[in-house]
Structure 1
């Protein structure tokens, strides 16, 4: 691959690379950066599967994709996926493995942030369960198909917030003691980066690449729980005060989607794997995210918790 290829300028993708004949799965693509990623990849002639918990919202998203890209209806597919349920993940993966001949790009985009304390259908703290375990299980169940489609890519949307977590709480992964929504979120994002480290190591020699990324501070629905008036009135007041600041300083969803798009399409990344990206370039992850023994331990624990090791 020529070393002078540069698919992005600054924090924006400038490449006109097409994805004709490629199939992409994007989780949580009914809104925000997931939806903008879907729109961009359909414009590149990819066939995109939107995997979402709400079929109604996913259908609305499909309508927007068709309107903005003028694509054929067959280019954008909607399927149900609830990442808080192992049963739903298994059903989705079984459907994809049975009906799809190839899967060239998997973008693990969906996530929850700063939500009130709660549990997934399988009993895990919601941010740990959705942001990490859900995507860990989904990726592993689709891995054989992804390998058969090589060269292929797995993109995991993490966050710079992973740097706020110094270590994994191995003795309390569900954070049932002294629960903090912020700590739980940051830990789940650290897990995303560690997951990609170990995934890349295990995929060495398969021609499948894996990337973790920070999309930037983006104005999307992900922030809804921070200002949830049902939790406390001060959060509603905070929302009113913060809105003009967010509007001026935060990235738009289109801008926030750029690094996901870059990792999905950039030719110069063909032989790159296990790296952490921000603003369409490789950047440093935290020291905690560089610990390969922790990445291996997380993989083994996640296999056990999701039932993959049985």
Structure 2
């Protein structure tokens, strides 16, 4: 009975935390990047055609962005867990948009939690002999937030906790392997990392439940259930997997003198996509109803896709790296540059994490 009560209290707190976003003031000072990304979509037809690789492009904001970009004349490499899903996604987009699809859609397969699958993706991409202007590390999972204790730990094929393997390590490897391809594509090549405001324990969403922290990183080296070496907590694992290497990546790119930039973003709270499929079904329906129909603090999938498209193509970001943008007025289409978490800005920890990650994925 005590467990059920605690779970119900925590679920209530999650709803209150999400709905409290509307009046929380969020992360502070507004910037020059405060825009409605939905308004910018027509501008992408005037951008020189680019090739954009999007992982997790069959559902949610990845799918929405793929639709927005290919109907503006850009080529999209549709990366999904299986080639069948990628091909089906392309067929559906073409059936829906018809002649409006003026850019190429190319299917490729990758399970980003599997490091060998990531390496195959890179080989398959290079076999196409295409340029790569933008890499979007978008695929992600969020496992059942109620699962706590090491017995609930799900592992990747390489032995890492599945959330970290999918949301972070696989994309870390993919990014590093494709850097030469991005460099060859010339100026304004971009790396875009999809994240969430919950990486910041001081944010309304990040303050509900255990806060993100990577601790001393001991768990990464030992393949423990959690990066900080603590007991498994699915909710914290998701928070820990967000926004963990973008700033250090940008510092290293700048030090190399290359023109590739790295930025990350959060599309806000989007409940009407497949992202919540691993959560408790009853709670997910309640949460969806409360955030969308009562408090009106959730964002739409199209808005999230427009945020992704903005990060990939907007001239506002040309030559700019190390930025974190997030949906800042829940239920309203506003996207703005903000400060990432204190831990994300810890340069010493970021360097240590990056070096340890190179070793973990076999690049050191």
- TM-score by length of structure 1 reads 0.88
Which residue of the partner structure matches residue 255 of structure 1? Answer: 303
CA shift at 1:257, angstroms? 1.7
- State the secondary structure of the residue aligned to 2:218: coil
Higher deviation after alignment, 118-127 or 175-184: 175-184
> What is the distance in 2 between the residues matched to 1:55 and 1:95?
12
Corresponding residue number in structure 2 for 1:282: 337
Residues 1-310 of structure 1 aligned to structure 2 (within 5 Å): 9-14=35-40, 16-18=43-45, 19-71=47-99, 75-115=104-144, 117-151=153-187, 152-164=189-201, 165-169=211-215, 170-173=217-220, 174-175=224-225, 177-191=230-244, 195-204=245-254, 205-219=257-271, 220-227=273-280, 236-248=281-293, 249=296, 250-279=298-327, 280-309=335-364
Structure 2 residues not aligned, in runs of 5+ = 1-31, 145-151, 202-210, 328-334
For these two proteins, the number of residue pairs brought into alignment is: 293
Deviations 1:156-194 (A, max 9, x none): 001111013453131223336421001111111142xxx
Query: The residue matched to 1:189 in structure 2 has which SS?
Result: coil
- Point out where structure 1 has 5 or more consecutive residues left out of the alignment: 1-5, 228-235
Inter-CA distance 37–302: structure 2 relative to 1 (3 Å threshold) = same
What is the CA deviation profile of residues 206-228 of structure 1, one whole-angstrom value per residue up to 9, with x for unaligned ones? 1111111111001221111122x
Q: 1:160 to 1:111 in 2, by over 3 A?
A: same
Offset at residue 101 of structure 1 (A): 3.1
Structure number with larger C-alpha Rg: 2
Q: Secondary structure at the match of 1:70?
A: helix
SS at 1:9's partner residue?
coil
Alpha-carbon deviations, 1:258-308, whole Å to 9, x = none?
A: 221111111121121011011332111111111111111111010000000
What is the CA–CA distance in structure 1 between the aligned matches of 2:93 and 2:48, rounded to whole Å?
A: 17
Cα displacement string for residues 106-164 of structure 1 (whole angstroms, at most 9, x for unaligned residues): 11110011246200010000011110000000111111010010221110001111013
Distance in 1, Cα, partners of 2:103 & 2:305: 23
| Root mean square deviation, CA, Å | 2.1
Kindly state the Cα deviation for residue 252 of structure 1 after the two structures are TM-superposed: 1.5
Name the CA shift for 1:240/1:156 in 2 (closer, same or farther; >3 Å).
closer
Q: For the residues of structure 2 that align with 1:182 and 1:240, how far apart are their CA atoms? A: 18
The answer as to whether partners of 1:84 and 1:126 remain within 8 angstroms in 2 is: yes
C-alpha contact (below 8 Å) 1:66/1:73 kept by paired residues: no
Equivalents in 2 of 1:87, 1:244: separation in Å? 40
- Superposition deviation, residue 69 in structure 1: 3.4
**CA apart distance, 1:74:** 7.1
Q: Relative to structure 1, is the Cα distance of residues 70 and 237 closer, same or farther in structure 2, using a 3 angstrom cutoff?
A: closer
Partner of 1:230: none
User: Aligned-pair distance for 1:58?
Assistant: 2.3
Whether the aligned pair in 1 keeps the contact of 2:81 and 2:111 (CA below 8 Å) is yes
Q: State TM-score, norm by structure 2.
A: 0.75
